[in-house]
Structure 1
Amino acid sequence: MTNYIDKSQQPILGNDPVDLETPQGAQWQASMWKFLLFSALGMALFIIPFQWDGKITILLGVLTDTLQAVLGGYVVYAVLAIVTTSFIGALAVKVLRPNLHEGSMWAKLFDVDWFWLGARFLGVLFAWMIYLQVGPEFIINRNTGSVIFEDLIPILIPLFFFAILSLPFLTDFGLMEFLGTLSSKVFVKLFKLPGRSAVDAMSSWFGAASIGLLVTMQEYNKSYYSLREAAIIATTFSVTSIAFTYVVAKTIGVDNNFVFFYLTIALTGFIAAIIMPRIPPLSLKPDTYHSGKSMLDEGIPAEYSTYQWAVNRAVTRAHSMPSLGNVFKHSLKNLFDIYLGLIPVIFAIGTIGLGLAEYTPVFNWLSAPLVPLLELLQIPEAAEAAPAMIMGFADMYLPALVGKSIESEMTRFIVGAASITQIIYMSEVGALILKSNIKLNVLELFMIFILRTLISLVVITTVAHLLY
């Protein structure tokens, strides 16, 4: 296979336009092994299912469960340390205004705007109130804040540890370039999108929804996507990662059926991705570019087949990667960013959401129109499931946290899968879209959320009836 390429013809590799040399000779062979071995390790951790302790799971799930068991009750102190450090550090930066270098680790961890500082304050306040069992029942009740503190966070701490540190094996050693190039023609034909958007989808699938969304925002700002394309990608392919999907499955109690759970989500997401770009509001977005014209050229050199080009890009990416030590250091920074930035926000939004669900009829009112549809689809405990469906607009975890009390496993399966395929949750994805240059407002996001929910319910329920 030819492995030489003129640099003037070389495409964008990974997520940024970079100027990389394609390796030659012995370097090519070494980089090929680097791509194959590290990508295989990443797939073994995140993708390949197997039976363990009577259930079908993935290696990441086994590692998470093992560390969770080892930590036991000590995880409480880790949680308190994380949320306290998160708020005090951010408050100190806000008040003292130290001269932090832009892009430095300290700036990334603690230099936040007032909204996120407020979220961190609520997070640390709620965490200590729940731990000390001091404060209103709305916050500290076993069915509200204590669900976050005792059920969800003890899963997230070990999960984030393994997922973030091992993620580069899946995303940074050529697998994304390889799969993205191979799937590019599918994206063009089925979804009316540039083939490059396959990489955005994989960034979400392998990493996190926010990762794929940040890639999309960046590509739109550089005029690689039109406004219509960016809006479609942001709201259709910013899917929740395998790792986060496992958290939802475990929380809602269907992790014993994880493979079918994830395959159902993949099927549903695929069908929704075909439908959503062809109906309003996404179909009405114009094909205008941030800079006024498109900057994207996805041509494959004539001397390459699609497969050869995919291999060339993958091996070149693997060749460009720094040492494992540097990769680990970068992943460790990302781990601290997730711990300090996300855990307090989950406490804040999750506790408030569960409090509203437990002590007010707000979600019952909002979800009332869904009950007849759920009953028509013959979903058991439809009245209990409907509020959980609507809560997904606030945060991805709320449906699982509320739905875990539903007795029917089939209904829990449907609620959990739907919460993943809804995609638009304001605690992260929605907030990022509103802050971006992609012109989607709250009403449009809610319309997209409702449409995705309706599509998802039909597909997921059909599969669930076959399984149960």
Structure 2
Amino acid sequence: MESDKNNVNLNNNAVLDQLTLSDSQKRQGAVKAVIFTLIAVFIFFVPVTIKGTTDVVFGIVYKSIKSNLGLLGSWLGGIIIMGNAIASIYGKYLCKRKDSFLYRYYAEDSVIHPLFYLFGGVCTLILLLHFTVPSFTGPACITSPDIGETVYSIAMDVALIIPVSGIFMPFLLNYGIVDFIGSLLEPLMRPVFKTPGRSAVNAIASFVSSASVGVLITSKLYKSGVYTKKEAALIATGFSAVSVGFAYKVIETAGLSDYFLPIYFIAMLITLIISFFMCRIPPLSRKQSVYLDGHEQTREEIQAEKIPARSVVRIGGARAIKKAATAPNFFREIRSSLLDSCFVLPKVISLLTAAGIVAMIIATYTPVFHWIGKLFEPLLVLLGVPDAAQIAPSLPVGIAEMFLPVLLIADKVGRLSLEARYMVVTVSMVQIIFFSETIVVMLSTKIPVTLKELVICFFERTVLAIPISALFMHLLF
């Protein structure tokens, strides 16, 4: 039966499986699936070494653009943040025309969002003047290398990750690799993590490129009707882990470079173990299995994902071919993906700058995280973790910025035991949820989770991570 791809939902596997292609369409689909999948794998998953630097192609591209732009890039990003601050004040508070772009762009924001955007814009202006005007002296709480410079550097990374991923994401999402991997891993992902098999792609993309990429993929598939609200929330909060490159930076700072491979793969395993528990406890377990268009996920739709073990390769391959054969116009899809990415960019980097700096100021200048950390000290002592009192305050600081827990012990590396440093590194790597990146990206891209839920999930992940990490600590050291 010939089907018009414009009138059917090919993200529904039951529909995709019933689609019939002609022999020529199958051949074209197979060629497109192979070529574009190889390109996607090369871009996102294959490390290459250029001029002594090893990274995936995606990482090399956006870092190269950032390096070539230099200070100009920082100013361009700053202009976007400051422009967003001004536009949000007008769009949210002053604009009366409901059909205007600015009104619609900020309509779903709360009344306090423009205040965050404005604070981010002010901080950005201070930092840019600090970078470019030698005689300018801004507040130390903003211009400090450990606060403003760190947060702004991350914001500029994300400012490039978003459009670059927008250009390359159609290679990953439109030509069958997601459907093929999803078919292979459905028997594992659905019963263990309560997510579809294709969610494994999100996890892999996060591990090898960037946590933001994982969140953006999840958002794109949620908006496309592939994931339900519950699935999108579980995937974004459970699989958007730190990249290999950033993980190495964290492990190296803690003086554990000799243990990089075991620590990194242990962290990956612990991330999956925690996700097993998180999908079974509130608030994520209470999320509705409802798609963005409002229809509830049916048992038939879940069953359509399941494939007999002996047929996974054949059916997964057939789905990939059909998806590639019916893929939209390549250049039109890249344009659409790029526009979608750039649409959220001003809000993401504005919130990231504002929330990241606020969280870092609280962590640096107040005892709040120290007090919260004291709550974890008895658990660390009970689990036999050395130097528990010294490292306990660093564990909750991860909600501000994933790198901050290690920075807090950086000057104590020579005095802290291997076990204590391992605990700080591993727990911070598996917490996933932090203000300086993943939280604001999730909130800005409309992943169906609230700020309150994300904070609760952070502490749940931390409490789960401590005993599991301690178990591996005793096995490793």
- TM-score by length of structure 2 reads 0.74
Moved more, 405-414 or 134-143: 405-414
Amino acid at match of 1:132: L
Aligned residue for 2:30? 32
Preserved CA contact (<8 Å) 2:167 2:335? no
Q: Does 1:144 align with 2:147?
A: yes
Amino acid at match of 2:173: T
Preserved CA contact (<8 Å) 1:50 1:58? yes
What is the CA distance between 1:424 and its match in structure 2?
4.3
Distance 1:165 1:433, change over 3 A: closer
**Counterparts of 2:389 and 2:442 in 1: how far apart (Å)?**
27
Q: Does 1:422 align with 2:422?
A: no
Aligned residue for 1:180? 182
Preserved CA contact (<8 Å) 1:210 1:428? no
Amino acid at match of 1:89: A
Aligned residue for 2:117? 120
Aligned residue for 1:452? 461
Preserved CA contact (<8 Å) 2:190 2:196? no
What is the CA distance between 1:364 and its match in structure 2?
0.6
Aligned residue for 1:403? 406
**Counterparts of 1:465 and 1:451 in 2: how far apart (Å)?**
22
Moved more, 246-255 or 177-186: 246-255
Amino acid at match of 2:270: T
Distance 1:461 1:32, change over 3 A: farther
Aligned residue for 1:370? 376
What is the CA distance between 1:281 and its match in structure 2?
3.7
Q: Deviation digits for residues 69-123 of structure 1, max 9, x if unmatched? A: 322232221221121222233333332344547xx89945887442332221111
What is the CA distance between 1:145 and its match in structure 2?
1.6
Preserved CA contact (<8 Å) 1:213 1:234? no
Moved more, 269-278 or 248-257: 248-257
Preserved CA contact (<8 Å) 2:397 2:404? no
What is the CA distance between 1:30 and its match in structure 2?
1.6
Distance 1:368 1:13, change over 3 A: farther
Moved more, 452-461 or 409-418: 409-418
**Counterparts of 1:270 and 1:284 in 2: how far apart (Å)?**
16
Preserved CA contact (<8 Å) 2:222 2:232? yes
State which of 341, 349, 357 in structure 2 corresponds to 1:343: 349
**Counterparts of 1:184 and 1:210 in 2: how far apart (Å)?**
21
Moved more, 425-434 or 446-455: 425-434
**Counterparts of 2:447 and 2:236 in 1: how far apart (Å)?**
18
Aligned residue for 1:328? 334
Q: Does 1:234 align with 2:218?
A: no
Distance 1:430 1:178, change over 3 A: closer
Aligned-residue identity in percent: 20
What is the CA distance between 1:247 and its match in structure 2?
7.1
Amino acid at match of 2:172: L
Distance 1:318 1:190, change over 3 A: same
**Counterparts of 1:260 and 1:5 in 2: how far apart (Å)?**
51
Unmatched 5+ stretches in structure 1? none
- TM-score by length of structure 1 reads 0.75
What is the CA distance between 1:354 and its match in structure 2?
0.9
* 1:245-264 matches, cutoff 5 A: 245=243, 248-249=246-247, 252=250, 254=252, 263-264=265-266
Preserved CA contact (<8 Å) 1:210 1:238? no
Amino acid at match of 1:122: F
Preserved CA contact (<8 Å) 1:80 1:124? yes
Distance 1:160 1:246, change over 3 A: farther
**Counterparts of 2:237 and 2:444 in 1: how far apart (Å)?**
11
Preserved CA contact (<8 Å) 2:247 2:429? no
Aligned residue for 1:62? 60
* 1:10-409 matches, cutoff 5 A: 13-14=10-11, 21-50=19-48, 57-94=55-92, 95-98=94-97, 100=99, 107-108=104-105, 112-133=109-130, 135-149=138-152, 151-191=153-193, 193=194, 197-200=196-199, 202-203=201-202, 206=205, 207-209=213-215, 211-212=217-218, 231=230, 234-235=233-234, 238-239=237-238, 241=240, 245=243, 248-249=246-247, 252=250, 254=252, 263-278=265-280, 280-281=281-282, 285=286, 294=298, 296-297=300-301, 298-299=303-304, 305-371=311-377, 373-374=379-380, 385-393=391-399, 395=400, 398-401=401-404, 403-404=406-407, 406-407=409-410, 408=413
Preserved CA contact (<8 Å) 1:200 1:213? no
Preserved CA contact (<8 Å) 2:82 2:121? yes
Q: Deviation digits for residues 266-304 of structure 1, max 9, x if unmatched? A: 3122222333445x44698599978788364323699x9
Preserved CA contact (<8 Å) 1:265 1:420? yes
CA RMSD of aligned residues (A): 4.6
What is the CA distance between 1:325 and its match in structure 2?
1.6
What is the CA distance between 1:344 and its match in structure 2?
0.9
